[in-house]
Structure 1
Amino acid sequence: MAGMGKIARRGFLIGAATVAGGLALGVYSLRQPYSSPLSKDLPAGMAALTPYVVIDRTGVTLITPRAEMGQGATSIQAALLAEELDIPLDAVRTDPGIPAPAYYNARIVAEGLPFAATDTGWLAETARETGAMVGKLMSLQITGGSTTVPDAYDRLRMAGATARAMLVTAAARRLGLDEAALRTEAGAVIAPDGTRLSYVELAPAAGRLLEPRKVALKDPSDWRILGKPMQRLDIVAKSTGTARYGIDQTAPGMLFATVRTNPARGGGVLHVDASRAESMRGVVKVMRLPDGIGVLADNTWRAFQAAKEVEIEWGPAPSPANTEALFDSIAGAFETRRDSRLKNEGDVEAALAGGADVEAEYRVPFLAHAPLEPMTAFAWFRNGMLELRAGTQIPRFVIDTAQRLSGLHEDLVGLYALPMGGSFGRRLEDDFIDQAVRLAWAAEGRPVRLTWSREEDMARDFPRPAAIARGRGRVEGGQVAALDLAIAAPSVSASQMGRLGVPTMGPDTAIVAGAWDQPFAIPSCRVTGHRAPETVPVSSWRSVGASANAFFHESLMDELIHAAGADPLAERLRLCTHAPSARVLEAVGQLSGWGTDPGPGRGRGLAFCLSFGVPCAEVVEVTATAEGIRIDRVLAVAEVGRVLDPVNIENQIQGGVIWGLGHAIWGELTHAEGRVEQANFDSYRAMRIDECPEIVVQALGSGGPVRGIGEPPVPPAAPALANAIFAATGQRLRSLPLARSVRFV
């Protein structure tokens, strides 16, 4: 990835040129496949069939390059390959593979384009195709944006089918039979007379063949794995405690490291006195880092204790010092910093000239990623090479960072991507990799495992940005007639991509995602994004902009529908212009018994959001008790195009609902003196198991484009809960977290 900045700029210019009507560089070359990273220096007896299938004497290994962070990415990638290869899912090994251009994400760029998922016009489709080319040109091996399944669905099935075809060809030549006479089953090619040739014995001959240009994919009616309940490949290891994460890595002679950096990000270090820490038992070295110190010791606990004993004078934060000042900075963007107006239908000014029936301001706070496994990485300089082991969503960028710091050639930097104990977007950053490389260099040939403390992880997060929305609207004849929503927030794209050295251009669609692109035909409707100045560096957080904007949009919609005297479900259905979204709304209505009396003191709240191409609707049922609000039940419906694993989809939707509800109730990062005030899970609350309501899930697979489900269940949760509380109590809640306004039991 040398010259990343130049390649990135060229990539974005190509994208702009194509959208404008012409591609300057050769489309043909961009569409050619990358060479397989597995084809070099293969040991005897091993064959690589496509970049995704490796067969040796011991069996089949499937390469699953999208990162596993608890969402089931490894299992679904393996299932896509295994289905077309005709091998049992439980009979394969998986490996994340070597970070390589061949594993680029063709869908990730499209998520940031200013086209709604419902837009299937020529310009939108051309832009998406160009986005795929840019992803290839830039070698964007990234896991995020709920793109793993959409990106892999055709590609991995094709890879599995190609490998199968090569094995059949090899068998046909050995047996002197026509390929059409052969069939495959359970990892073997079978002849009409019952002769079975295992893939293992055919692999050396198959590996010498050219990949066929065209192969046939199975009809879904013939699927043996996909579409049926699966047991995830990692479930046994996770259930028995044998799963190995970054925090579990070991090696002979390993040093254990931690860091302590300025909690007022960007303030720097004025003075360090490490004399006391350096004299402590087990401490090997205390070293300066660009924004703090690192400690190398003989175990993690001693490293933690020594880090606390280092006397450090920190510089002040360059950003506003407290929460109120940060929100003032965001509010100021409404007047001076318009970023986008991607939706502007009808005549909003004329519709509201006589005054608004509803006018409100909504706010959401900064939110931490706070994965249970804090930032951690293993690094080892030896024999002129650098070995890295870490959980990361951006392996190619990690290689680039390590290469820049070490001065080593890219071929001398190796990364093994590990499963993660959570991420939610946090491991789209490489700051902890930077530190691990610096510490390993100072360790003079000994391996180093870096582990952050929970307090460091909270203080040095790149949070979900805080945001403010100002909404107004008008109703006529019992219907919603006008909606005007302005949203101000810092740019996630500029902040995050800037740290990775990738320039961005044009409006940041994340500022308004989940609001401007909703499939409702309101006669006069406008959504405006305002880019607040960057103060606290921010990053992608599970469901990115839609996590805040669904709360804004669906709260305003609910207020307008109430002002019109209409039914929340019926009015959304009347306005809906997108058939899959309408099916989702109808299904959640049936699932929840919408329209029936919920009972005394009880209320139902409905919210909908189309995000990452997935329409998702949720109904939350609550009871207002004397002690506070109790969440009784959540009904969630999503349309994913095709259900590939019903068990994992149900789990992902349930997890997204819990994530969304917990943060809606308690989640916030506040600031004082330029520092985050929450340091651990005692002050940054999550929803606990005894607080989780019953969650009923229905996943629709109506045959449209295949979509991912990791993020879409999150956005509707907060507004559905707030709307339910209004239905039960009459109290409108326009600011998160909700626990600041009501008590929950």
Structure 2
Amino acid sequence: MAGLGKIARRGFLVGAATVAGGFAIGIYSLRQPYVSPLADDLPPGMAALTPHVLIDRGGITLITPRADMGQGATSIQAALIAEELDVALDAVRTDPGPPAPAYYNARIVAEGLPFAATDEGWMAEAAREAGGWASKLMALQITGGSSTVPDAYDRLRHAGAAARAILVTAAARRLGVAEDTLTTGDGAVIAPDGTRLSYVELAPAAGRLLEPREVRLKDPAEWRLLGRPMRRIDIVAKSTGLQRYGIDQALPGMLFAAVRTNPRRGGGVVAMDASAAEAMKGVVRVVPLPGGAGVLADSTWRAFEAVRAIRFDWGPAPYPATTGALFESIAAALDEDARDSRLKDEGDIEAALADGADVEADYRVPFLAHAPLEPMTALAWFRNGQLEVRAGTQIPGFAAKTARRLSGLSRDGVLLRALPMGGSFGRRLEDDFIDQAVRLAWAAEGRPVKLTWSREEDMTHDFPRPAAIARGRGRVAEGRVAALDLSIAAPSVSESQMGRLGFNALGADTAIVAGAWDQPFAIPAYRVTGYRAAETVPVSSWRSVGASANGFFHESLLDELIHEAGADPLAERLRLCSHAPSARVLEAVGEMSGWGGALGPGRGRGLAFTLSFGVPCAEVVEVTATDRGIRIDRVFVAAEVGRVLDPVNFENQVQGGVVWGLSHAIWSELTYADGRPEQENFDTYPAMRLPACPEIVVRGLETTDTIRGIGEPPVPPAAPALANAIFAATGQRVRELPLAKSVRFA
């Protein structure tokens, strides 16, 4: 059997090196594809062309490199390939593949460019193309930014079509017939006389053929899978408890690890006394780590108990120590010296507001934790001069690089296996927990080590969504919105997060103003300015990133101005809307919700719209003011994604985004005292439960040619739609999240 390093370079399937009679194939839309990570040192009988389809004696495996965090990424990637390959989803295996430059994400850079998604000018298009090349150059194998489907839509369909074409060529040569007389279906090539040659039996011959230069993709009218309700390939395992996540990994002789590090991130350790922990039953070793220590033990529980017994003298926080001081630091950035961007500056805002503003308001949102149900966990095993790492990660290439840096091993010496995740919401775009697992495995050479963070460690050592403050003002005239000026201050996610990955964040951070500057409204005087606050708590991407805050800021201010003008919230947004797909989304949500119809006393509707990640998304929230507090009755959502590839998963993703957005809007915040988060578990960081969850009605529009993702866009409009509904029902404007600080909920 080939060595671990060779497997890491060419493959990833358990036992793949012993399988004969197979081939691997895929295709890229860019001109010079990377060499397939499956191409080198293959065993006899296995040939690799490019990376997305593997056929061997055991059947068909589809390579789905974008991480699955519960959003259905594996299923949709598999369906894109399987549609063109003419195989059923229940007839294939899937594998995420190894970390490899070939699996770079060509769309991940586009979201950070200073061009609105509605900008189709030559400069914007050239910048997006350059962003794709930059992603390729840097080999950015990243899952995030709702980019999985946009990136995979053409690439993976081409992979399936190319594989099918090669199999047809192999069958035609075997049968001595013309290729155009053959058809495919259910994993076989079919001759005019009914002869069926399975892909498996054709694989050895097909593996010797060259990839075709051009392939025909199916017309959507021919689709068997895409565009129809599909059963996700992981749904049975998840419904029966058989799905294995990172936290479920187990190997013979495995040690269990827990860590405890300074809850004031970056504060370091002044002194440590581990004597009590070292004497506890089941403890194998205490290992010093940057900022704290880890315990190796014979069970996770004993590791948890022992690490709590270590006495630490923690260093102070290198940032303001309290919530109040942190917000003061952010507010101080609302000054011209800290100006980071002014990407929206239309009309003459100073002239429009020269006689004062009709509406002036400050808004603020808190730090927020990712808090996935599965805490951070990773397994690492160092033996015989080689290192294997198993973890759920959105950045497998960076994680493997971290493992190589810490171990000093070459690319051949490190194998990283990406695993399914029990949630992430952006948290697994970091590799700090993988760093710790590798260090612990190095201290336990020869034995696998599984690190599991406690919930308290997970909550207090998050890289949260940054807090932000906005200052808004505007004018109305003749029953219309005439001017809107919005200033937003926040720490830079790009500077903080990309710095940890080893990149310098150049230029303005568009995340500070995303979801505000790029909205498709033709307001006569319209300005959005971003201010970069000094780094406070180290921050990171959180589901919908900057738009998660800015949707609340922008849509709250716009709604206040519309009310001041005496206009209808839907009609005025439609009047201002300068983007036809966005207008259709607004019209759709109005129709769905029966906008304008009477609701009765104590009830209200709130509307909000945010264009984020290229997706126009509008939401209407209906509430009732009861004796017990505000009750959310129904939510209506319309979004334009170009094409809905799986209606069931689309609906689930939208509903999940709405619940996520509402839950955090109502209850969630991270507050700080003495430099550390005060929320350590779900009892102090509550989430929406089933009794509070409203009915959520979803409609996906398919009126454009641009394919978009839906994982994040439903989040930003949820909070402002709810806040606007509360105003409609009660007359109370709430300008700070979480809403439960100002409003009682039933």
TM above 0.5: yes
Are 2:224 and 1:254 aligned? no
CA distance in 2, matches of 1:356, 1:497: 38
Q: Is the 8 A contact 2:341 2:531 kept in 1?
A: yes
Q: Is the 8 A contact 2:615 2:710 kept in 1?
A: yes
Which structure 2 residues correspond to residues 534-683 of structure 1 after superposition, within 5 A? 534-683=535-684
Aligned to 1:526: 527
Partner SS state of residue 680, structure 2? coil
Aligned to 2:39: 39
* CA positional deviation for 1:569: 0.1
CA distance in 2, matches of 1:520, 1:708: 22
Which structure 2 residues correspond to residues 319-358 of structure 1 after superposition, within 5 A? 319-335=319-335, 336-358=337-359
Are 2:299 and 1:303 aligned? no
* CA positional deviation for 1:49: 5.1
* CA positional deviation for 1:46: 3.9
* CA positional deviation for 1:704: 2.2
Q: Deviations over 1:487-526 (max 9, x none)?
A: 0000000100000101120100000000000000000000
CA distance in 2, matches of 1:285, 1:384: 21
Which structure 2 residues correspond to residues 55-454 of structure 1 after superposition, within 5 A? 55-335=55-335, 336-454=337-455
CA distance in 2, matches of 1:616, 1:131: 25
Q: Relative to 1, partners in 2 of residues 1:375 and 1:226: Cα closer, same or farther, differing over 3 Å?
A: same
Give the letter for the 2:627 counterpart: A
* CA positional deviation for 1:410: 1.0
Give the letter for the 2:415 counterpart: G
CA distance in 2, matches of 1:412, 1:580: 50
Aligned to 2:23: none
CA distance in 2, matches of 1:403, 1:346: 53
* CA positional deviation for 1:675: 0.4
CA distance in 2, matches of 1:457, 1:501: 23
Q: Is the 8 A contact 2:369 2:669 kept in 1?
A: yes
Partner SS state of residue 605, structure 1? strand
Q: Is the 8 A contact 1:267 1:314 kept in 2?
A: yes
Q: Deviations over 1:29-82 (max 9, x none)?
A: 973011111122333444445310000112100000000000000000000000
Q: Is the 8 A contact 1:45 1:57 kept in 2?
A: no
Partner SS state of residue 284, structure 2? strand
Partner SS state of residue 334, structure 1? coil
Partner SS state of residue 367, structure 1? coil
Q: Is the 8 A contact 2:377 2:453 kept in 1?
A: yes
Partner SS state of residue 595, structure 1? coil
Aligned to 1:19: none
Which structure 2 residues correspond to residues 470-549 of structure 1 after superposition, within 5 A? 470-549=471-550
Q: Is the 8 A contact 2:63 2:97 kept in 1?
A: yes
CA distance in 2, matches of 1:116, 1:712: 15
TM-score (ref. length: structure 2):
0.96
Give the letter for the 2:499 counterpart: G
Give the letter for the 1:317 counterpart: A
Give the letter for the 1:143 counterpart: T
Q: Is the 8 A contact 1:145 1:711 kept in 2?
A: yes
Give the letter for the 1:730 counterpart: G
**Structure 2 unaligned blocks of 5 or more:** 1-27
Give the letter for the 2:327 counterpart: F
CA distance in 2, matches of 1:679, 1:354: 49
Give the letter for the 1:102 counterpart: A
Residue correspondences, number: 718
Q: Deviations over 1:588-641 (max 9, x none)?
A: 000000000011110000000000000000000000011110000100111110
CA distance in 2, matches of 1:471, 1:60: 56
Q: 221-230 vs 694-703, which deviates more?
A: 694-703
Give the letter for the 1:308 counterpart: R
Partner SS state of residue 518, structure 2? coil
* CA positional deviation for 1:695: 0.5
Q: 40-49 vs 452-461, which deviates more?
A: 40-49
Q: Is the 8 A contact 1:512 1:546 kept in 2?
A: yes
Q: Is the 8 A contact 2:581 2:704 kept in 1?
A: no
Q: Is the 8 A contact 1:50 1:162 kept in 2?
A: no
**Structure 1 unaligned blocks of 5 or more:** 1-27
CA distance in 1, matches of 2:584, 2:49: 41
Which structure 2 residues correspond to residues 649-728 of structure 1 after superposition, within 5 A? 649-728=650-729
**Aligned-CA RMSD value:** 1.0
Give the letter for the 2:194 counterpart: G
Give the letter for the 2:125 counterpart: E
CA distance in 2, matches of 1:528, 1:128: 23
CA distance in 2, matches of 1:719, 1:233: 35
CA distance in 1, matches of 2:508, 2:630: 40
* CA positional deviation for 1:178: 1.1
Give the letter for the 2:158 counterpart: M
Give the letter for the 1:133 counterpart: W
Partner SS state of residue 687, structure 2? coil
Partner SS state of residue 354, structure 2? coil
Partner SS state of residue 333, structure 1? coil
Q: Deviations over 1:182-238 (max 9, x none)?
A: 110110001111111100011111111111111010000000000000000000000
CA distance in 1, matches of 2:501, 2:58: 40
Q: Is the 8 A contact 1:31 1:133 kept in 2?
A: no
Q: Relative to 1, partners in 2 of residues 1:415 and 1:379: Cα closer, same or farther, differing over 3 Å?
A: same
* CA positional deviation for 1:312: 0.7
CA distance in 1, matches of 2:550, 2:397: 31
Q: Deviations over 1:409-451 (max 9, x none)?
A: 0111001100000000000000001000000000121000000
CA distance in 2, matches of 1:70, 1:44: 37
TM-score (ref. length: structure 1):
0.96
Q: Is the 8 A contact 1:392 1:427 kept in 2?
A: yes
CA distance in 2, matches of 1:30, 1:584: 33
CA distance in 2, matches of 1:148, 1:190: 33
Aligned to 1:20: none
Partner SS state of residue 340, structure 2? strand
Q: Is the 8 A contact 2:29 2:154 kept in 1?
A: no
Q: Deviations over 1:308-333 (max 9, x none)?
A: 10011101111101000000000010
